[in-house]
């Protein structure tokens, strides 16, 4: 039986026997083999299953699908069929993506965990001039906050793109431009908030020649209970969650690609394979990660990329501000005092004055504090993330990103909008599979996948998304 957008098709089966032995059967040799009582679903129908499942519940989506196809009673599509099909497609996509990633890593002399295998061939072959070794180890240490050697004004300049990998002759962010931006920001500002170029330890990437901007974020959805609640069990069990990690990769031309996985380590392997496959590791420019400050994300990035290439991690401004609000709410006596402290601390952080912010917090009047421990924790947070907190004001003035909002939005589109509703709970594989199918759709890869079981693994222009 074939279930298609055209309808449910009963097809006669033929077989040739020689004695009692079957020598030919159309069931296996013409049509794809399916399970008992299972119909082969045409790519058109499977595409509809995916399309009607990614925005709303399987039950509602199937109801709409049955109305569109005018399927009733015996011919009606069951929502469980749709859910199972989507889950299976998701698993197949994940398996294919992992397989492709492994092959890419292997071809560039990396093992499956993303570690380099000593070899003559590798990602720098044929492009030594633009290889990552151009950026000095001190710059790597600085980016990771492991060293803070003072830089001359000359060193602060964005490396120009004169290598083989780029046709651009010079960076669009020059020393002159940075100085001009600083002057403009400093106009009318009190001394405390004025930016001094010599104090800044960071580099400013040319937005048009970054290798990639990568926003990473975790998202949790409610986990299904393993079984029925036991008798006499406590009424409120500890809430369990299914974790999904989403990566939004963007190049200098505003093209993007989304990846998802059930854990951080897995997604970073996929990110590395994507960068290798698209020749981005050899390209001049920086690799920039935008994160929300989660330690597991930061550590996983460092563990995979530290020995590989220079990169920069930027703590998302929204999350930094949120953290300040949360900690100060717990620390200060009353909303008004909290707001007063917040109004002083956030501009300092926005202007990259982390030491000043710490000094201010340390010097707070004890009478206004209800929980000194929270202040200590906030200062600890600043210290830990100091290397990832740039001068946000200057970055924004230079037109550089200060936020992981694209990653947050991707999370919203891939997981939250579909999976986080009242009464919804998910199995680990169900949640990840649905997120994978949504990612496939957002990357506009569904047609190629359904027909050829292929994934493009390439950036997609934003205009294509709008057109789609």
Partner 1 sequence: MKLEITINLKETDGVPVTEATTIEVEVPDFEAFTGPARFGEVFDAYEREVIKARNEAVAVATEKYLSEMAKKKQSQREISEKEK
| Residues that bind partner 1 in the complex, under the rule CB under 8 A | 2, 4-6, 28-33, 40, 42-44, 450-452
Residue matched to tokens 């390209």: 283
| Residue 184 beta carbon to partner 1: minimum distance, rounded to whole angstroms | 56
**Burial (CB count <10 Å: 0-12, 13-18, 19+), residue 74:** exposed
Strands 241-250 and 212-222: antiparallel
- Closer residue to partner 1 in complex, CB, 33/128: 33
Q: In what order do the strands lie in the sheet with 256-261?
A: 256-261, 241-250, 212-222, 287-291, 311-315
CA–CA distance, 340 with 362 (Å, rounded to integer)? 15
For every residue of 33-59, DSSP letters joined together read P--TT-PEEPHHHHHHHHHTTSSS-HH
How far apart are the C-alpha atoms of 201 and 450, rounded to whole Å? 49
Q: Minimum distance between the CB of residue 44 and partner 1, rounded to whole angstroms?
A: 5
Kindly tell me which of 29 and 367 has the beta carbon lying closer to partner 1: 29
Least separation in angstroms between residue 278's CB and partner 1 is 27
Identify which of residues 47 and 292 has a Cβ nearer to partner 1 in the complex.
47
Of 71 and 376, the one with the shorter C-beta distance to partner 1 is 71
- CB of residue 453 vs partner 1: minimum separation in angstroms? 9
Return the number of the residue (2 or 379) whose C-beta is nearest partner 1. 2
Cβ proximity to partner 1, 4 vs 51, nearer residue: 4
Least distance in angstroms from the C-beta of 241 to partner 1:
36
Q: Kindly report the backbone phi and psi dihedral angles of residue 21, in degrees, each rounded to the nearest multiple of 5, phi listed first.
A: -95, 135
47 vs 143 by CB, closer to partner 1: 47
Element (H, E) at 311: strand 311-315
Q: Terminus-to-terminus CA distance in the chain, angstroms?
A: 32
Q: Are 289 and 214 in contact (CB under 8 A)?
A: yes
Q: How many CB atoms lie within 10 A of CB 359?
A: 12
DSSP one-letter code for 110:
B
Helix (H) / strand (E) element for 115: namely: none
Nearest distance, CB of residue 449 and partner 1, angstroms: 11
Q: Which of 320, 257, 259, 332 is nearest to 294 (CA)?
A: 320
Which is closer to partner 1, CB of 42 or CB of 164? 42
Return the closest-CA partner of residue 161 out of 250, 248, 252: 252
Smallest distance, partner 1 to C-beta of residue 222, A:
35
Instruction: Provide the minimum distance between the beta carbon of 33 and partner 1 in the complex, in angstroms, as a whole number.
Output: 7
The two three-digit tokens of residue 184, written as one number: 């403009």
């Amino acid at each position: 039986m074939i279930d298609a957008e055209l309808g449910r098709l009963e097809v006669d089966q033929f077989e040739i026997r020689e004695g009692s032995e079957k020598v030919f059967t159309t069931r296996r040799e013409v049509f794809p083999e399916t399970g008992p009582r299972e119909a082969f679903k045409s790519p058109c129908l499977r595409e509809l299953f995916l399309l009607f499942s990614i925005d709303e519940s399987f039950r509602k989506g199937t109801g709409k699908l049955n109305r569109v196809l005018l399927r009733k009673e015996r011919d009606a599509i069951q929502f469980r069929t749709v859910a199972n099909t989507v889950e299976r497609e998701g698993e197949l996509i994940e398996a294919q993506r992992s397989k492709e990633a492994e092959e890419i890593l292997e071809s560039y002399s990396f093992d499956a965990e993303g570690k380099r295998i000593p070899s003559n061939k590798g990602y720098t072959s044929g492009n030594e001039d633009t290889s990552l070794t151009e950026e000095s180890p001190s710059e790597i240490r600085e980016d990771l906050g492991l060293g803070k050697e003072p830089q001359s004004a000359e060193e602060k300049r964005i490396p120009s793109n004169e290598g083989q990998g780029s046709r651009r002759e010079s960076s669009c962010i020059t020393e002159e431009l940075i100085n001009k931006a600083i002057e403009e920001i400093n106009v009318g500002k009190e001394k405390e908030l004025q930016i001094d170029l010599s104090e800044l330890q960071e580099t400013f990437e040319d937005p048009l020649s970054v290798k990639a901007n990568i926003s990473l974020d975790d998202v949790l959805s409610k986990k299904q209970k393993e079984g029925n609640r036991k008798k006499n069990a406590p009424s409120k069990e500890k809430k369990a969650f299914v974790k999904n990690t989403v990566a939004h990769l963007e190049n200098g031309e505003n093209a993007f690609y989304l990846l998802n996985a059930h854990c951080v380590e897995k997604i970073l392997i996929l990110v590395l394979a994507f960068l290798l496959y698209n020749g981005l590791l050899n390209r001049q420019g920086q690799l920039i990660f935008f994160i929300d400050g989660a330690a597991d994300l930061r550590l996983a990035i460092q563990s995979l990329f530290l020995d590989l290439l220079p990169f920069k991690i930027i703590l998302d401004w929204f999350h930094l501000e949120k953290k300040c609000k949360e900690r100060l709410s717990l620390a200060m006596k009353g909303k008004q005092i909290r707001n007063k402290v917040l109004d002083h601390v956030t501009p300092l952080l926005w202007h990259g004055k982390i030491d000043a912010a710490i000094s201010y917090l340390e010097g707070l009047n004890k009478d206004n504090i209800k929980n000194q421990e929270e202040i200590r924790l906030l200062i600890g947070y600043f210290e830990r993330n100091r290397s990832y907190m740039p001068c946000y004001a200057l970055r924004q003035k230079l037109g550089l990103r200060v936020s992981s909002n694209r990653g947050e939005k991707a999370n919203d589109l891939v997981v939250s909008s579909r999976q986080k509703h009242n009464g919804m709970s998910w199995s680990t594989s169900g949640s990840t599979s649905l997120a994978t199918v949504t990612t496939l759709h957002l990357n506009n890869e569904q047609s190629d996948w359904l027909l050829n079981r292929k994934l493009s693994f390439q950036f997609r222009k934003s205009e294509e998304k709008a057109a789609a």
